[in-house]
Amino acid sequence: MFAKIALAVLALAAVACAEPGLPLVAAVPAYVKAVDYHARPHYSFNYGVNDPHTGDHKSQSETRDGDYVKGQYSLLEADGTTRTVDYTADPHHGFNAVVSKSGHAVHPAPSGLRRPRHPRRPVAPLPPPLPTATTANLQPDS
């Protein structure tokens, strides 16, 4: 009798847990072979900045075709000269850059030293250092 009741309770639990509309067979995804495709990279850009307010003057241009890159950038140095860097990069030769400077460096004339606003006051001397223990001062325990 107990076995029949237990079987009925288990059957009710199974019916309560079952969800309607579920397929009896699980769908298996179709096998698709993944193929890596790497497009040959190709780009070209250039830009320039000419800001007299901040003194920022620079430009850059670059072109890439596959593994070959060629470019140039230039900037105005603090001394008034223009630094230009022409560079190339490829798998065979690596990265190569040629740096050139144009123009003449302008350095401002040094101005005279300014005197301090307040006269310097003498500082009190430091106290003599305290003696420190050295190996010569230590006596072995007897």
Domains and CATH numbers, the chain: 48-105 (2.20.130)
Evaluate if pTM is beyond 0.75. no
Alpha helices in the chain (DSSP H): 2-17
Residue range 99-123: average pLDDT? Answer: 80
pLDDT at residue 116 in the model: 66
Summarize pLDDT for 48-74 with one digit per residue, the tens: 999 999 989 999 999 999 999 999 999
Task: Give the length of the chain.
Answer: 142
Task: Report the first-to-last Cα separation within the chain, whole angstroms.
Answer: 97
- Give CA–CA dist 53/56, Å, rounded: 8
pLDDT at residue 130 in the model: 82
Higher confidence at residue 46 or residue 26? 46
| DSSP assigned state of 31 | P
Residue range 92-121: average pLDDT? Answer: 84
Residue 49 β-bridge partners: 58
- The answer to whether the CB of 64 falls within 8 A of the CB of 41 is yes
pLDDT at residue 53 in the model: 92
- Give CA–CA dist 16/52, Å, rounded: 79
For residue 119, give the amino acid letter: P
pLDDT at residue 22 in the model: 61
pLDDT at residue 2 in the model: 76
